[in-house]
Chain A
Amino acid sequence: MLYREAGQFKTNYFADQAVFPIRQDRIGVAIILLLAFVAIPLYGSNFLLQAVVIPFLIYSLASIGLNLLTGYTGLLSLGTGAFMGVGAYACYKLTSLFPGVNILIWMICSGFVAAAVGVVFGLPSLRIKGFYLAIATLAAQFFLQWCFVRIPWLVNYNVSNAIEVPQRMLGDIVITGPNASLHTRYFTVLIIVVAMTWIASNIVHGRIGRMWMAVRDQDIAAELMGIRLLRTKLLAFAVSSFYCGVAGAMLVFLWYGGAEAETFNINQSFFVLFMVIIGGLGSLLGSYLGAALIFGLPILLRLLPDALGVPMHSATIEHMSFLIVGGLIIIFLIVEPHGLARLWQITKQKLRVWPFPY
């Protein structure tokens, strides 16, 4: 009853091509944006902002990046963590070489550096496919992480061999560094993530997205239809790495406040891959849902024993959460292999015909 497109007529092509053709969807997105821009900063506690919402948004961006590559183009990559690292280290290098330039510009530029690196490591994708490619992208993961450790130039020869985020201003507001206020960082992250999601949505709904999906479904057939595989696959690697790079730069500059090579290790790559798979391959909404679940679950599990009043050793909780997260991943895959995004689609269909069964 509530969610029904009946009576919403489209009278021109522009309306027909809209991303959210149904009015209820538009209202829903507006409410979510309102919540994110007004309600959360007004009423959210500092813990909620710092430990939940900011990292959730950053990981959502990273998983959108990986989803463009794995979900839309069908190229499995296990190098996400390293590409995020490239973004972070590039941003650090750029802002320490040119401290006068606005840090936000450098965050975007560091995405381009990550894109260039991504293209180089995407080259094998022309020859090899599937799991062979996944392992080949592990080469990127290990090689880049080795570079982060072994090239001291990347961290300006710091003794700690780690990135220490400098203080940067936008006008007279402190954006990065230890003095940046929580709300400034939150709004910076939010604006970048929303803007880049909007861009990603336009990419995947347009010609480029169609090309990617054609390559995903059957690359030889796509080639026969006149899609140039070299360009398409490398473009996917570039855009995906761009998103991951920006996410990595934000992770360090707007959340951690400092990072070493170990931050971008292989577990980071797997973490993002989990989000994409659990959220739903080939769905932007799924990237958000997956990030919320995979990032939120361990936090909930850690809070749960306290809430229930069961005294538990912190190490035991850690082990238990491994066990439970692993088990839940398997259960989720069995129940809904197409991810949370598919669950949402099913719910939408149910809402559409409610109160009738079909």
Chain B
Amino acid sequence: MDLLYKIFLDPFVQMGSAPDLLLQTLWEGLVGGVLYALIALGFVLIFKASGVFNFAQGIMVVFAALTLVGLFALLTRVGVSNAHLAAFAALGLTVVVMLGLAIAVEKLVLRPLVNQPDIILFMATFGLTYVLIGLGELIFGGEPKVMITNELFLPRGAWDLEIFGGFVTFQHIDIAAAIIASLMVAGLAVFFSKTRIGRALRAVADSHKAALSVGISLEQIWVIVWFASGLVALVTGIMWAARSDVSFALQIIALRALPVLILGGFTSIPGAIVGGLIIGVGEKLGEFYWGPLLGGGIESWLAYFIALVFLLFRPQGLFGEKIIERV
């Protein structure tokens, strides 16, 4: 009886009695959710266009952030005195690197493996993960680095708002992350629905064969989606690293973002966003209000359980296409 009270009543009483704390938790959940959503977005872009479950998305985030910081250090050493100039030059060069990565992946990994079963392509992205880890550590070293937030004009500091008789802190960087993420999603949405390449992408997502038969180049499309998700990875890397620092531990967050995928559906961009927010908020609320009951640290698996509960009712995820199977 006492346990039931603790599980079903006590957390809500706590929420009601300290609404400012609840609001703070919700806000942090939303911010975490935005970042999960961004990683999931990278996954979805590639899965939609090529049917590849890209396990390397997490390490791509790390690799992009490392490249940015590494290039910035290189440029300042070479003698670019203006920090802002160096930072934005590094940003531009990183974009070029991500384009190179996309082309290399298409040429060396995807094209030779065309028409293989999904699991083989999945394992190939595992191999890619190892290659990127090795490459990143060889070139940039394994030690954590500080993200160049000031040089990129990313705001620091926080607002303390007085709400419900308490203080709720909004970090500027979190607000910036939310704004940039929504801008990027909006941009992608426009790109997908209005441009010629975007329509070609959707055609490829619907059917490879039909798209080929109307003259769409699969190779070109694959380079574009890998480049697009490389850009998403770069933005994710900057935002995430601005809150902590750039290190290989970041790739763990990619594993945290996987439940977002099954929750939202592998093929749905809105699913990735909504799923990310649900998981982010659910995780923070669960950890804060129910975590102490179980001894804490439940963040590592709570997201998976939230996703599993949803899956029991909708096996294809919230927004996924209905799975139709024929014998």
Q: Contact flags (1/0) for B141-162 with A, using CB distance below 8 Å?
A: 0100000000000000000000
**Bound: A181/B210 CA distance, A:** 65
A136, B120: Cβ atoms under 8 Å? no
Q: Contact flags (1/0) for A157-196 with B, using CB distance below 8 Å?
A: 0000000000000000000000000000000000000000
B262, A127: Cβ atoms under 8 Å? no
The contact of B108 among A128, A129, A131, A330, by CB within 8 Å, is A330
A330, B118: Cβ atoms under 8 Å? no
B312, A127: Cβ atoms under 8 Å? yes
Q: Which residues of A contact B297 (CB under 8 A)?
A: 146, 149-150
B308, A142: Cβ atoms under 8 Å? no
Question: For the complex, would chain A's binding face be called helix, strand, loop or mixed by DSSP majority?
Answer: helix
**In chain B between 300 and 327, which residues have their CB closer than 8 angstroms to a CB of chain A?**
300-301, 304-305, 307-308, 311-312, 315-317, 323, 325, 327
**Which of B72-80, B81-89, B123-131, B190-198 has 4 or more CB atoms under 8 Å from chain A?**
B123-131
B131, A327: Cβ atoms under 8 Å? yes
Q: Contact flags (1/0) for B189-231 with A, using CB distance below 8 Å?
A: 0000000000000000000000000000000000000000000
A329, B130: Cβ atoms under 8 Å? yes
**Which of B31-39, B109-117, B268-276, B278-286 has 4 or more CB atoms under 8 Å from chain A?**
B109-117
**B3 contacts the other chain (CB 8 A):** no
**Bound: A132/B315 CA distance, A:** 8
**A304 contacts the other chain (CB 8 A):** no
B120, A277: Cβ atoms under 8 Å? yes
**A44 contacts the other chain (CB 8 A):** no
**Which of A103-111, A198-206, A217-225, A349-357 has 4 or more CB atoms under 8 Å from chain B?**
A217-225
**Bound: A330/B125 CA distance, A:** 8
B137, A274: Cβ atoms under 8 Å? no
**B240 contacts the other chain (CB 8 A):** no
**Which of A18-26, A87-95, A312-320 has 4 or more CB atoms under 8 Å from chain B?**
A312-320
Least Cβ distance of A216 to chain B in Å? 12
**A3 contacts the other chain (CB 8 A):** no
A131, B126: Cβ atoms under 8 Å? no
**Bound: A10/B255 CA distance, A:** 54
**B289 contacts the other chain (CB 8 A):** no
Least Cβ distance of B126 to chain A in Å? 7
A138, B124: Cβ atoms under 8 Å? no
Q: Which residues of A contact B63 (CB under 8 A)?
A: none
**Bound: A333/B125 CA distance, A:** 11
**Bound: A333/B120 CA distance, A:** 7
**A139 contacts the other chain (CB 8 A):** yes
**B27 contacts the other chain (CB 8 A):** no
**Bound: A171/B164 CA distance, A:** 72
Q: Which residues of A contact B323 (CB under 8 A)?
A: 129
A329, B127: Cβ atoms under 8 Å? yes
Chain B minimum-CB-distance residue to A326: B130
Q: Which residues of B contact A325 (CB under 8 A)?
A: 130
B126, A139: Cβ atoms under 8 Å? no
A127, B315: Cβ atoms under 8 Å? yes
**B241 contacts the other chain (CB 8 A):** no
A323, B311: Cβ atoms under 8 Å? no
Q: Which residues of A contact B298 (CB under 8 A)?
A: 146
**In chain B between 175 and 190, which residues have their CB closer than 8 angstroms to a CB of chain A?**
none
The contact of A330 among B109, B133, B259, B304, by CB within 8 Å, is B109
Known: A142-B300, A330-B124, A333-B124. A323 touches B131 (CB 8 A): yes
B123, A274: Cβ atoms under 8 Å? yes
Least Cβ distance of B265 to chain A in Å? 9
The contact of A139 among B108, B122, B134, B301, by CB within 8 Å, is B301
Measured CB to CB, the residues of B under 8 A from A are: 53, 108-109, 112-113, 116-120, 122-124, 126-135, 137-138, 142, 255, 258-259, 261-262, 266, 294-298, 300-301, 304-305, 307-308, 311-312, 315-317, 323, 325, 327
Measured CB to CB, the residues of A under 8 A from B are: 70, 76, 124, 127-132, 135-136, 138-139, 142-143, 145-146, 149-150, 218, 220-221, 224, 266, 270, 273-274, 277, 281, 315-316, 318-330, 333-334, 337
Which 6 A-B residue pairs are closest in the complex by CB-CB distance? Answer: A326-B130, A323-B134, A322-B134, A329-B127, A139-B304, A326-B131
